[in-house]
Amino acid sequence: MAAPMRSVRIQLTFEKSSLIANNQKQRSWFLVDKESSKKIHNVVEGIIGRFGLESSLNIELYLNECFLPQWESTEILRDNDNILYVLGTRGTICDNHIINRY
């Protein structure tokens, strides 16, 4: 059995390009170190720091149009996953089930 990958490269897509500071693009690569980022909330903190975003915003991440809970392990992430970065609640549907949060 292969050893788990220590880091993964994900594609970030920002729902609103106005969220991004310094005229950065709406899409960007982001490297997640699974050793230091054990949970999705650690990934969110890393994104906030790298892109100079407001840390008090309600931020949600989606993978394949499904909500990624911030308490979820980063083991769910794979190389080249496309992650949607959203400000606030979208109330998405995943596998035909409405996801109720908070």
How do residues 53-72 score in pLDDT, each as one tens digit?
877 778 899 999 899 999 99
- For residues 12 and 28, the answer to whether their CB atoms sit within 8 Å is yes
Domain ranges of the chain: 7-98
Tokens of 2: 């292969």
85 vs 91: which has the higher pLDDT: 85
pTM: 0.75
Residue 73, pLDDT above cutoff 60:
yes
The span from the CA of 53 to the CA of 42, in Å, is 14
Rounded distance between C-alpha atoms, residue 38 and residue 99, angstroms: 23
pLDDT of residue 25: 64
CATH architecture of the domain 7-98 equals Roll (3.10)
**Mean of pLDDT values over 3-11:** 83
